[in-house]
Amino acid sequence: MRTTHWIGGKPWHGVAERTGDVYDPATGQVAGQVDFATTAVVDEAVAAAREAFTRWRAASLAQRTNVLFAFRELLNARRADLAAIITAEHGKVLSDAAGEIQRGLENVEFACGIPQQLKGGYSENASTQVDVYSLRQPLGVVGVISPFNFPAMVPLWFVPNAIACGNTVVLKPSEKDPSAANFLAELFAEAGLPDGVCNVVHGDKEAVDRILEHPRVKAVSFVGSTPIARYVYQTGARHGKRVQALGGAKNHMVVLPDADLDLAADAAVSAGFGSAGERCMAISAVVAVDPVGDELVAKISERMAALHVGDGRRPGCEMGPLVTGAHRDRVTAYLDAGRAAGAQLVVDGRNHPVDGEQGGFWLGPTLFDHVDTDMSVYTDEIFGPVLSVLRVPSYDAAVELVNANPWGNGTAIFTNDGGAARRYQHEIEVGMVGVNVPIPVPVSYYSFGGWKDSLFGDAHAYGPEGVNFFVRSKVVTSRWPDPSYGGVNLGFPQNR
Ligand code: NAD
């Protein structure tokens, strides 16, 4: 199967100079090729988006929201088809793929209510016979660059809001699982979105660099690893663009001695191994406050043994393979590195039974105990099914440990003490906090964003901050002349 770009409302018809392999991670087989965009192809997409912008920015709010409501219905009806596409290229199990679509749909629903978000202000008689009012207008062509781990949800964080605000889009999804983006673009076309409003280009650094440098691209929303997020932010800003670049993570779950340890163990396993740990909000570090360590580790290990790992299309599978063989090998190398550094390998994922073909990119759930903050299993974002337990003597030591970490995407505290939870939410330097909730991804009418090295830029993604990112404001001061205007006056205008 060949996946190509979607430009101006139709598939691209050129011959690609470069392509990449797309795998079925559950079999390890190459399932198809994806075309990589050159600078010229990105230019073609930006030109289509720029041309469409003139008309789309003038489309009424009713026309825009009609498209979004239709898109919402189509996506809802076809969610099983999209989930199958995601599982085939990413590897996550079907129920998890359906979950990411559901969260994506919530962002579409938010965008359906865009008229409420785009209301400006109006001040009658700011000065005598003078009114002042503000407008929220689109930016123009915006770039969206997304990671492999949420091939539908992350594009849906940005594209619906961007177009609802009147922008046109060039989306560059991950080259590892490119097909979901085309599925969404085709669905938008079916929903009545005019040609050129949503374009998809595939590829790697060459395509990204052109989006970052193109003078017609006014803003870039990026999600991916921290080094690339930092690069995208700096390069885009250097070229005069508005940029929001969401990066990687190391998410801590602090378990206090008074917590319900069964609830905490369930949460650690769900949030550590869901999607094989390939989530930016996955829990990768459990911080056990004395004396709960031994009991918590025992409860977590017991639950891990029961996990059904295998081909995400097979019934009952809870955790699929990793996205590529290279990524699986990189993650697996941490098992030896952690042990060599002195951590205790309590559960070795290489021994976990697998319900899938031998060539798949498998690694079962893995647990380290007695991890220290200087070990690579802790300092690096592993992005796989590897959970580390760190032990600390007190609540204060737990807070100090979490705040010293360079990332600040998500965190959770497990406790039955409301006062401790309230203190934690106040003191912790992390953008999204869960209280007895391990993956605190905000609902679509709040905004999503980490602190520190987990986000570069001012605006968080989606929700009200996401809308702010996609509009610029204009303030109009207006007078309808009447005889009282007073004639020539060279003084600086004053309000009377
Ligand atoms: P990645 O950084 O490798 O790739 C992200 C995007 O950048 C892709 O579209 C890719 O093609 C492009 N890219 C890769 N290398 C590039 C380069 N050198 N120059 C320009 N562009 C480049 O990330 P990934 O492996 O696809 O996704 C996993 C990462 O994303 C993890 O670090 C995860 O924590 C992070 N992530 C963060 C969030 C968040 O909201 N903070 C959400 C999802 C994923």
The per-residue pLDDT for 484 is: 67
Closest residue to atom 34 of ligand 1, CA basis: 248
Question: What is the per-residue DSSP string for 414-446?
Answer: E-S-HHHHHHHHHH---SEEEES-S--PPPTTS
Look up the pTM and report it: 0.97
Question: How far apart are the CA of 32 and the centre of ligand 1, in A?
Answer: 21
Residues acting as catalytic residues: 280
Q: What is the 3-state secondary structure (H, E, C) of 117-150?
A: HCCCCEEEEEECCEEEEEEEEECCEEEEECCCCC
pLDDT at residue 487 tops 90: no
- Across the range 22-36, mean pLDDT stands at 98
- Across the range 239-258, mean pLDDT stands at 98
The per-residue pLDDT for 493 is: 85
pLDDT tens digits for range 305-356 = 999 999 999 999 999 999 999 999 999 999 999 999 999 999 999 999 999 9
The per-residue pLDDT for 495 is: 84
pLDDT tens digits for range 135-162 = 999 999 999 999 999 999 999 999 999 9
Report in angstroms the alpha-carbon separations of 413 from 41, 256, 418.
47, 8, 11
All domains of the chain in start order, with CATH: 2-247+454-476 (3.40.605.10), 251-435 (3.40.309.10)
Kindly state the percentage of the chain with pLDDT values over 90.
Answer: 97
**Which residue would you say has higher pLDDT here, 494 or 222?**
222
Question: What is the per-residue DSSP string for 320-346?
Answer: ---S-HHHHHHHHHHHHHHHHTT-EEE
Q: Which of 148, 177, 202, 448 has most ligand 1 atoms within 8 Å of its beta carbon, as the pocket-test mutant?
A: 148
| Mean of per-residue pLDDT scores for the chain | 97
Closest residue to atom 42 of ligand 1, CA basis: 280
Which atom of ligand 1 is found nearest the CA of 203?
11
- Across the range 251-274, mean pLDDT stands at 98
- Across the range 9-19, mean pLDDT stands at 97
- Across the range 162-190, mean pLDDT stands at 99
- Across the range 36-45, mean pLDDT stands at 98
Closest residue to atom 30 of ligand 1, CA basis: 224
